[in-house]
Structure 1
Amino acid sequence: MKIEMTVDIKKLIDLKQFKVLKELISEQSVPYIVEILEELEAEEKIVVFRLLPKDIAAVVFTELEIDDQKKLLALFKEEKLKEIIINMEPDDRVEIFEELPANVVKNLLNYLSPQERDQTLILLNYPQDSAGRIMTPDFFDLKEDLTVSEALKNIRTYGNEKETIYTLFIINHNRKLEGVIELKDLIFADDDKLIKDIMNKEFVYVKAYENEEEVAKIMKDYDLLALPVTDSEKRLIGIITIDDIVDIIEDSVTEDIQKMAGMGVTDTSYLHTSTWKLIKSRVIWLIMLLLLESTAAFIIDGYSHVLQKVTILAAFIPTINAMGGNAGSQMSAIIIRSIALGELEFKDMKRVFFKELLIGSIMGVILSIVMGFRAFVNTQNPMIILSLSISLIIVVIVSNLLGAILPFIAKKLKLDPALISGPLISTLMDVISMTVYFSVALSLLKDFI
């Protein structure tokens, strides 16, 4: 369907059938238009943007990848560029501005009214990952001494211009936040009731310098559609809406996945990330892991006399390594998720340690029994089977404990726990596994060596 639509649009552009094209794209949703634009050349994108209504064009533009936005900004004629910038939501505008060179931002600011320019500069002055940077100053507030009928009249008059009216924020004459009220509650209240008598005085808010990930957690925990943002004196200065939080959660999850995979963070989708940037984000970590992994070679070389006497031990090196890495990676994934969701804190580390000591011991024994039966296929020597089983028990316990404790330590050191994950745990456990494996083998098989 999308391919057919893209072909049709390209044909209509080639034939200069702009009236038909305008009717065609006007019937499509914003997400679908964004998907179609991904398949078009830059010049074809410009044609489509020329035909979109100005408010739709601004929304579509904010949904494009940043590299596409930069290309289009360079190609737009001044009138179209001005139209798009003016019609964007303040927080979306700031998100684009922060990715652009300072001289470009300066030129774009000239298209805005003095009030819009001041709003944009205020948002840009907040730290990048703060609530102030992602909030919108385009919100609807009500004075606490209004009656319900007066409030509803204000909403009907001005509400259509605001980002959301489903949650309304109540302020006093000094703009201090006093309460919130849902639109549905306002609609069903008596007309002569005062807002201050029916508003909810027990509400959640954040200050402008709060970290955006903490904001996302608060909105998730309280199931909010909009969250008020105040200055240090509790004056209402903006709101954060759920669509902004969805983007933050998506970015945070993407970042954690990339870190857990042992690579640098990229903020664009795969096809919009340059080859060199992808190489750079991965190769540094791979070099570090390669050097750490090579330590295992020195350990194996140090026990070469053991392998020469009991060659069957070499057959189980991959199994021991894999089990250590897998158990550690499983455990670190569980703990990292719990830390990220706020379910675990540093004070819980001791409880986690003893719980995972028990779990690791039980899993180690179960796996060692399976290993014993598996090893019997290759060797019937009970001491070799015993050394494999004991090694596996120790390796599983150690990897379980490392996977559980290292994320806590990382968090305490103000590092991202996601860094202590998959590839790093696996590589570290390879070194530890080989040390444990050959130490146990040397102790139990000394009569054979």
Structure 2
Amino acid sequence: MNPTTGISTPIRSELSREQFCELLRGQLSLALTQNELEQAKSLLLPVQPVDIADVIGELPEAQQALAFRLLAKDLAIRVYEHLDLELQQVLLQELKSHEIQDILDKMSPDDRAKLFDELPAKVVTALLPQLSPQEREATALLLGYAPNTAGRIMTPEYISLKEHLTAAQALERVRLLARETETIYYLYITDSERHLTGTLSLRELVMADPAQLLGEVMNREVVFVSTNTDQEEVARVIQRYDLLAVPVVDTEQRLVGIVTVDDVLDILEQETTEDIYSLGGVQSGEDDYFDLSFWSAARKRVVWLLVLLFTNTFTSTIIAGQEEVLSEVIALAAFIPLLVDSGGNVGAQSSTVVIRGLSTAVVRLKDGFGVISREAAVGAMLGLMLSVITIGWAYALQRDLSVAIIVGLSLFGISVLSSVSGAGLPFLFRSFGLDPALMAAPFITTIVDVLGVLIYFYTARLVLGI
């Protein structure tokens, strides 16, 4: 039995992370309600900072600040970095001035900059003077770069060495600086003007002969990004080269910081969320959709719905103009939803794979013709298979071979059109510098609806000889 948590080790190992955090939250809330502060404090001692952050975030609001104050200073700083930005802001209002100063001064510069981004300007102005001069300078440096760039998300906490140092001297320097540095897995070699000249892993340094100069063992082929590199491109670089961190240089090639892999994971989650929201026709933004108010959630979704509502009036106009065909064979009206929906599904599949390919750089703009041609061929094959099945189904429903053939031929044409549109529009929007995820889905829906109905009725006119 663990005396601090009351949860036996075998039982804890059988619980999922979510189950353990929920159990711990219940015990902590009960201890705080009963004012048993020592017990509450002991509950949190053997728990990872990220799990403590989740548990505190799920407590009733009245208990959150109290639970946070129970943490030892070093642990509190690590936990604070994992809290949601909204709760971080709330705690800033609840904590005393010296507590705030201790936390902010010890936070990682990139996490501090992320917090300051979300705070009102007046609050940031009041907090900056409370930082030590070194931390104030580091924060001002990061906030000076554009949002969503390498400069904004990097940390200036890294270890730089000189080429003339021996491996033994370098190891001694690493020991001195390790506590003040976010990561020591990579060491960066710079010249007298801080220009990045090489890199060295800690493993390579440990294995080097103590008398060897760093200039003899370092890697001169350096992978790096610039301060203005988009954060999504930074994530691709780290993923492509299997790095734990990537150095960031300014316009003069001077080393100014590093972006670590844990920051990249946050970036990938953020970018993926934005793409998924965009694919659903929801306006992207910095806020989590599920944290929005009722009216804000509706506002983010209504824009593209209004666009689609307006453009779909063209579909209604086309159908209204085909009274002659519909009066001749009224059964044709029954298959309009089937054709339009099928076309939309085919187009959505094509756009999804292409947008994913563009987002991960698996395909590029220069690959557009080949990708679109391939999707057109796939659409033709899908259309052929669906048409054969649909002709049989339509004939079984209506007992009219001409109607079945019209539906089948139209579905074939709509499938090819949808595949080409779904594959082509993301490339088109990317070439104009627009987000393919945001633009493709609504436009594909509109094109398939309008042109699909046109294909259907002109095919009917051709087959029926009207």
The interval holding the TM-score normalised by the smaller chain is over 0.9
Output the TM-score relative to the length of structure 1. Answer: 0.96
* 1:78 CA displacement: 1.3
Higher relative contact order (CA 8 A, sep 6+): 1
Which of 81, 88, 92 is residue 62 of structure 1 equivalent to?
81
Quick check: 351-360 or 234-243, which moved more? 351-360
State how far apart, in whole Å, the 1-side matches of 2:389 and 2:139 are: 64
Question: Over residues 77-123 of structure 1, what are the superposed CA-to-partner deviations in whole Å (9 max), with x where a residue is unaligned?
Answer: 21221121112100000001011111100111111111111111111
1:434 has 2:453 as partner = yes
Q: Indicate if the aligned counterparts of 2:227 and 2:250 stay in contact, CA closer than 8 A.
A: yes
The residue number in structure 2 matching 1:366 is 385
Q: Indicate if the aligned counterparts of 1:206 and 1:227 stay in contact, CA closer than 8 A.
A: yes
Q: Indicate if the aligned counterparts of 1:207 and 1:230 stay in contact, CA closer than 8 A.
A: yes
The residue number in structure 1 matching 2:25 is 6
Structure 2 vs 1, CA of residues 340 and 3 (structure 1 numbering), >3 Å: closer, same or farther? closer
* 1:50 CA displacement: 0.7
Which of 166, 177, 182 is residue 185 of structure 2 equivalent to?
166
DSSP 3-state at the match of 2:199: strand
The residue number in structure 1 matching 2:16 is none
The residue number in structure 2 matching 1:156 is 175
Quick check: 189-198 or 347-356, which moved more? 347-356
The residue number in structure 1 matching 2:330 is 311
The residue number in structure 2 matching 1:223 is 242
Tell me which amino acid in the other structure corresponds to 1:15.
Q
* Structure 2 portions without partners, runs of 5+: 1-18
* 1:201 CA displacement: 0.7
Alignment of 1:231-310 (within 5 A): 231-310=250-329
Question: Over residues 255-296 of structure 1, what are the superposed CA-to-partner deviations in whole Å (9 max), with x where a residue is unaligned?
Answer: 000000111114333442222221111112211122222322
DSSP 3-state at the match of 1:420: helix
State how far apart, in whole Å, the 2-side matches of 1:71 and 1:64 are: 11
State how far apart, in whole Å, the 1-side matches of 2:305 and 2:92 are: 37
DSSP 3-state at the match of 1:252: helix
Q: Indicate if the aligned counterparts of 1:149 and 1:191 stay in contact, CA closer than 8 A.
A: yes
The residue number in structure 1 matching 2:219 is 200
The residue number in structure 2 matching 1:98 is 117
Which of 49, 64, 67 is residue 45 of structure 1 equivalent to?
64
DSSP 3-state at the match of 1:203: coil
State how far apart, in whole Å, the 2-side matches of 1:329 and 1:89 are: 42
Q: Indicate if the aligned counterparts of 2:248 and 2:258 stay in contact, CA closer than 8 A.
A: yes
The residue number in structure 2 matching 1:79 is 98
User: Alignment length, in residue pairs?
Assistant: 447
Structure 2 vs 1, CA of residues 277 and 56 (structure 1 numbering), >3 Å: closer, same or farther? farther
Q: Indicate if the aligned counterparts of 2:304 and 2:442 stay in contact, CA closer than 8 A.
A: no
State how far apart, in whole Å, the 2-side matches of 1:166 and 1:13 are: 40
Question: Over residues 207-261 of structure 1, what are the superposed CA-to-partner deviations in whole Å (9 max), with x where a residue is unaligned?
Answer: 1111111111111110110111112222111111001111111111100000001
State how far apart, in whole Å, the 2-side matches of 1:304 and 1:68 are: 61
Structure 2 vs 1, CA of residues 353 and 3 (structure 1 numbering), >3 Å: closer, same or farther? closer
DSSP 3-state at the match of 2:130: coil
The residue number in structure 1 matching 2:154 is 135
The residue number in structure 2 matching 1:23 is 42
Q: Indicate if the aligned counterparts of 2:198 and 2:218 stay in contact, CA closer than 8 A.
A: yes
Quick check: 154-163 or 393-402, which moved more? 154-163
Question: Over residues 304-339 of structure 1, what are the superposed CA-to-partner deviations in whole Å (9 max), with x where a residue is unaligned?
Answer: 332233121122111101111011110011111111
State how far apart, in whole Å, the 1-side matches of 2:81 and 2:420 are: 45
The residue number in structure 1 matching 2:13 is none
The residue number in structure 2 matching 1:345 is 364
* Structure 1 portions without partners, runs of 5+: none
| RMSD after superposition | 1.6
DSSP 3-state at the match of 2:118: coil
